[in-house]
A and B are shown apart, each in its own frame.
Chain A
């Protein structure tokens, strides 16, 4: 991996972030007049009231230099975004957008990291079994059924789970983790409560994501099976398990890891629907609230954060790929 390759990848990352900030700048100015004042007027027209709207306009004008020439405005805007300074939230003035995002982010990252990893691990393994000749007949007939379940979108699974396990059997709390903060429980009790409240959202995300991983891995395994080195491994008399894990899966899995990295990068957007259905206090439901309240600065903050996170994931992937797979050489191109 050469220095120029690293430099090119970094440039791509900077361009993505810069473009995202610029698009946000343009969108805010599509409406005529003072962007913030315009939004506040719209909120009030729709019957909402904004506490301290004059104050918001003044502070926003100062932060983003709205009284200065256009070029300076643009430079300040991009600079603020680059520092993750999105100004105050319009619906919760004077709480900064950052504080709101900061409160919701751990919930979302916790839920989605765990469920994405489980769905990836389970789905990849089951997908490999789907293509593997030595898979027991029972699995061969039940696995496609599982994929059929996964064809149902995760939010429908969420509604079904909510109806059966939360409202029908009362096994899990129905209102997500929203009440946890108010419970004031500490230590292990609190951990238990969080796990219990996150269980159903996680299950719906895992079931909904499983099929994609299974299909992907099955396709990759099909490409690997029948290779000469597998035949050689068999001829050497290695155990089936060893051939499956060390030879077949290991060689087929690389593209799955690419998808995993990108999936982890897009985690910050949260799973809007699952979070809303289970009243889960993550970034997804925060975005939903922000849209309901026309809280434009908050929407901007969340979308920008998402783009940066996806950009970081792509950057890490591009840099890690030549290390993972020595066959890949980028120096020429």
Chain B
């Protein structure tokens, strides 16, 4: 609440976010890591060139050397080249699937929390059951039936299963906001339910939506790489998951070729670590009680 504002109309939105978040070192570190990987993926390909992507172009199963800083795989492709070319498609899967999941989740969460009644019962019931069933298992069966051939299709399938988490989070917040003064005022001044949900409540939930989105993006990449490790992903686009899939299936670990499985693993560890730091910081911001404990 900013000073001088009437408690009935007070909101917590981007004002507080702009004051608190930039000072959070976890957020800064997390963003730096993710942006760093993004830069690697967008600038990298033009620096290393596509030559290393061709089979047999770079010598077979070579350990790291000056010419090939991350070595080569048994099909003779350059590991560094594969890594930088795989970055953007990998992040695309995450953002696309996470966006779809969060989008559906926000709409259903708002409906469930604001409209209540039978709508709430159905949405909450389905979401509660859905979060308990291991998503990866459903995905394994689905992708095996559908035989995903493109990263977009895989992202859509993952995204369609990802909504219950954000729906639950948004619903819980909507339940508290709908009782607040500014919502009452909006209803009294003739806003319809749709306007109240999307113009009054949603803008105040943006920090939660962001936190939910970051979690969903991270979860989507976890799911996508997991599916690819099982050989259930598309093999036409270079991704980090596909690198791990080949490395795992052709025994990189057994053969001691650490430079083959190491770089994609390190990439993912950095990515998940960065996203985790961002989501912890957003979480601490959205939950002021947590902030107080951490300051103590």
Answer yes or no: do A and B interact.
yes
Chain A interfacial positions (CB closer than 8 Å to B): 16, 27, 131, 133, 147-148, 151-153, 155-156, 159-160, 162-163, 167, 174, 218-219, 222-223, 225, 262, 265-266, 269, 272-273, 276-277, 287-288, 291, 299, 303, 306-307, 310, 313-314
Interface of A is mostly: helix
Q: Convert B258-291 into 0s and 1s, putting 1 for each residue whose CB lies closer than 8 angstroms to a CB of A.
A: 1001000100110011011100100000010110
In the assembled complex, the Cα of A194 lies from the Cα of B136 at a distance in Å of 26
Interface size class of B (residues with CB under 8 A): 35 or more
Contacts of A269 in B (CB 8 A): 133-134, 137
In the assembled complex, the Cα of A269 lies from the Cα of B258 at a distance in Å of 31
In the assembled complex, the Cα of A272 lies from the Cα of B229 at a distance in Å of 11
B141 in contact (CB, < 8 A): yes
Find A163's partner among B136, B258, B289 (CB 8 Å cutoff): B258
Contacts of A174 in B (CB 8 A): 254
B132 in contact (CB, < 8 A): yes
B40 in contact (CB, < 8 A): no
Q: In the complex, what residue of chain B is closest to A148 when comparing beta carbons? A: B273
Interface of B is mostly: helix
In the assembled complex, the Cα of A287 lies from the Cα of B290 at a distance in Å of 41
- Also in contact, A306 and B226, with CB within 8 A (given A151-B272, A222-B289): no
Question: Please, could you name 18 A-B residue pairs with CB atoms under 8 Å apart, sorted by A?
Answer: A152-B269, A156-B265, A167-B253, A218-B290, A262-B132, A269-B134, A269-B137, A272-B226, A273-B230, A277-B229, A288-B140, A291-B141, A299-B141, A299-B144, A306-B133, A306-B137, A307-B133, A310-B129
In the assembled complex, the Cα of A112 lies from the Cα of B230 at a distance in Å of 20
Contacts of A155 in B (CB 8 A): 225-226, 229
Q: In the complex, what residue of chain B is closest to A27 when comparing beta carbons? A: B145
- Also in contact, A273 and B229, with CB within 8 A (given A152-B269, A167-B253): yes
Contacts of B198 in A (CB 8 A): none
B225→A153 contact, CB < 8 A: yes
B256 in contact (CB, < 8 A): yes
A159→B137 contact, CB < 8 A: no
Nearest-Cβ distance from residue B29 to partner chain A, whole angstroms? 11
Q: In the complex, what residue of chain B is closest to A284 when comparing beta carbons? A: B137
Contacts of B141 in A (CB 8 A): 287, 291, 299, 303
- Also in contact, A276 and B230, with CB within 8 A (given A219-B287, A291-B140, A310-B132): yes
In the assembled complex, the Cα of A290 lies from the Cα of B156 at a distance in Å of 24
B272→A153 contact, CB < 8 A: yes
Find A159's partner among B134, B253, B277, B296 (CB 8 Å cutoff): B253
- Also in contact, A163 and B253, with CB within 8 A (given A262-B132, A277-B248, A310-B129): yes
A291→B144 contact, CB < 8 A: yes
Q: Convert B129-151 into 0s and 1s, putting 1 for each residue whose CB lies closer than 8 angstroms to a CB of A.
A: 10011101100110011000000
Contacts of B268 in A (CB 8 A): 152-153, 156
In the assembled complex, the Cα of A306 lies from the Cα of B136 at a distance in Å of 13
B67 in contact (CB, < 8 A): no
A151→B273 contact, CB < 8 A: yes
Nearest-Cβ distance from residue A234 to partner chain B, whole angstroms? 15
A152→B254 contact, CB < 8 A: no
Nearest-Cβ distance from residue B280 to partner chain A, whole angstroms? 8
Contacts of A276 in B (CB 8 A): 229-230
Find B293's partner among A225, A265, A310 (CB 8 Å cutoff): A225
Contacts of B226 in A (CB 8 A): 153, 155, 272-273
B289→A223 contact, CB < 8 A: yes
B136→A272 contact, CB < 8 A: yes
Contacts of A131 in B (CB 8 A): 293
Interface residues of B in 14-52 (CB under 8 A from A): none
Contacts of B244 in A (CB 8 A): 159
Find B265's partner among A27, A151, A160, A225 (CB 8 Å cutoff): A160
B273→A288 contact, CB < 8 A: no
B269→A156 contact, CB < 8 A: yes
Contacts of A162 in B (CB 8 A): 253
Find B140's partner among A218, A272, A310 (CB 8 Å cutoff): A272
A273→B136 contact, CB < 8 A: yes
Contacts of B256 in A (CB 8 A): 167
In the assembled complex, the Cα of A147 lies from the Cα of B281 at a distance in Å of 13
